């Protein structure tokens, strides 16, 4: 299986509730390694840019408002099949549809405040990692 990197975000609902360690533990338990990590707050403009692909969706402005409302942790996860593995560990976008034992099932509040984001494919993973990190900030 290929070793991949993927972008992971721990969202404001999770930093607010002080449960970031519990969430990070799920990634590490699944064999994903954190090779870059920082706590930041997105401006409205940066959140709009990150979620540009969703601009026409009805939830776009609420999403941007939420993602710029508080601290987030952005991180690069590395491991075999990291993109798919991260998505499995996160669970479905809507916590009501998320499988037992997933982060969103156990911690998410709603489809918007769903605790985590993860890249959805190899190209987005590269784009999203480059959005937040310089190469020298990624340490294996």
Residue 63 within binding range of ligand CMP, rule CB under 6 A: yes
Residue 69 within binding range of ligand CMP, rule CB under 6 A: no
Residue 5 within binding range of ligand CMP, rule CB under 6 A: no
Which lies closer to ligand CMP via its Cβ, residue 39 or residue 54? Answer: 54
Taking the C-alpha atoms of 41, 11, 60 and 128 in order, what is their torsion angle to the nearest 10 degrees? 80
Determine which residue in the list 28, 44, 55, 59 makes contact with ligand CMP, applying CB under 6 A: 59
Min. distance of Cβ 136 from ligand CMP in angstroms? 26
Q: Give the integer Cα–Cα distance in Å for 78 and 65.
A: 29
Cβ contacts of residue 82 below 8 Å, gap of 6+?
3, 4, 5, 6, 32
Q: Is 54 labeled as catalytic in the residue annotation?
A: no
Residue 15 within binding range of ligand CMP, rule CB under 6 A: no
Catalytic residue among 87, 117, 118, 132: 117
Judged by CB under 6 A, the stretch of 12-20, 30-38, 75-83, 110-118 that binds ligand CMP is: 110-118
Positions annotated as catalytic residues are 117
Binding site for ligand CMP (CB under 6 A): 54, 59, 63, 93, 111-112, 114, 117
């Amino acid at each position: 299986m290929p070793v991949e990197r993927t972008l992971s975000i721990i969202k404001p609902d999770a930093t607010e509730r002080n449960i970031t360690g519990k969430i990070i533990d799920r990634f590490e338990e699944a064999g994903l390694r954190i090779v870059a990590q920082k706590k930041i707050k997105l401006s409205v403009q940066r959140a709009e840019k990150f979620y540009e692909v969703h601009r026409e969706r009805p939830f776009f402005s609420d999403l941007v408002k939420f993602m710029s409302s508080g601290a987030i942790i952005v991180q690069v996860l590395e491991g075999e099949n990291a993109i798919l593995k991260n998505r499995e560990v996160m669970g479905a976008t809507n916590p009501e549809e998320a499988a037992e034992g997933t982060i969103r099932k156990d911690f998410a509040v709603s489809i918007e405040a769903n605790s985590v984001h993860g890249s959805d494919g190899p190209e987005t993973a590269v784009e999203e990692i480059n959005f937040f990190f310089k190469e020298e900030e990624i340490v294996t």
